[in-house]
Amino acid sequence: MSTVDTIHEYFDELYARLEDEKEKVETALDLCQRLGLRVQLGRSKGDTCLASLEGDGVFAECEAPTMSGALMGALLAIRQRGVLQ
């Protein structure tokens, strides 16, 4: 396999991962919107992603390596408190 083929393969794999992450983030944001949660997304220390969710009497914050992980972690934290059914 040539160097060019290896680079193409690498970028194909990277693009597939980015598309997967985008779909996960869109799904989580859609759920937050349906639940009426306000969402703040950002970066924390270094490359860590941060998601803060706030709604009627609920608040959760989560840091994770990916934005989808941070969103799902914050949703899970709210769910574990018995707020989401």
Section 77-85 average pLDDT:
75
Give the model's confidence band at 83: pLDDT under 50 very low, under 70 low, under 90 confident, else very high: low
Q: What is the domain count for the chain?
A: 1
Q: Taking the complete model, does pTM exceed 0.75, yes or no?
A: yes
Is residue 58 assigned to a domain?
A: yes
Is residue 36 assigned to a domain?
A: yes
CATH number of 54's domain: 3.30.160
How confident is the model over 12-64, as pLDDT tens digits? 999 999 999 999 999 999 999 999 999 999 998 788 999 999 998 899 999 99
Q: Which domain holds residue 48?
A: 3-80
Task: Report DSSP letters for 10-73, one per residue.
Answer: HHHHHHHHHHHHHHHHHHHHHHHHHTT-EEEEEE-STT-EEEEEEETTEEEEEEESSHHHHHHH
